[in-house]
């Protein structure tokens, strides 16, 4: 099982319960997934925390993590696209 930040449906708008395109409710990238989970194939920084990082592919996260100079996740090496 993954985390919400790894799901194709995760939007990450934060307030107003708009973190997920499939379900209404407050969540964040670190929540355990629901039955509608679909692993995303796009690498994106899914963290809604300013200065935070959450890899949508491998789930690597932290407050002080930064992507590599060439724009990749420091753990799995996936290229961040957005």
Please identify every stretch of the chain with a pLDDT value under 50, giving residue numbers as ranges.
none
Sign of the four-CA dihedral 39, 67, 76, 53: negative
This prediction has a pTM of 0.71
pLDDT digits (tens, 9 = 90+) for 28-43: 888 888 899 999 988 8
Given this model, what pLDDT does residue 23 score?
Answer: 83
Given this model, what pLDDT does residue 15 score?
Answer: 67
Determine the Cα–Cα distance for residues 36 and 73; give it in Å rounded to an integer.
25
The residues, any chain, with a CB within 8 Å of residue 32's CB and separated by 6 or more, are 1, 3, 4
């Amino acid at each position: 099982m993954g985390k919400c930040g790894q799901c194709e449906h995760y939007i990450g708008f934060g307030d107003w319960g708009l973190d997920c395109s499939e379900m209404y409710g407050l969540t964040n990238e670190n929540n355990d997934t629901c039955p509608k989970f679909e692993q995303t194939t796009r690498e994106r920084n899914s963290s809604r925390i300013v200065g935070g990082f959450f890899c949508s592919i491998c789930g690597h996260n932290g407050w002080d993590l930064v992507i590599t100079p060439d724009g990749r996740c420091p753990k799995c090496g996936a290229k961040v696209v957005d």
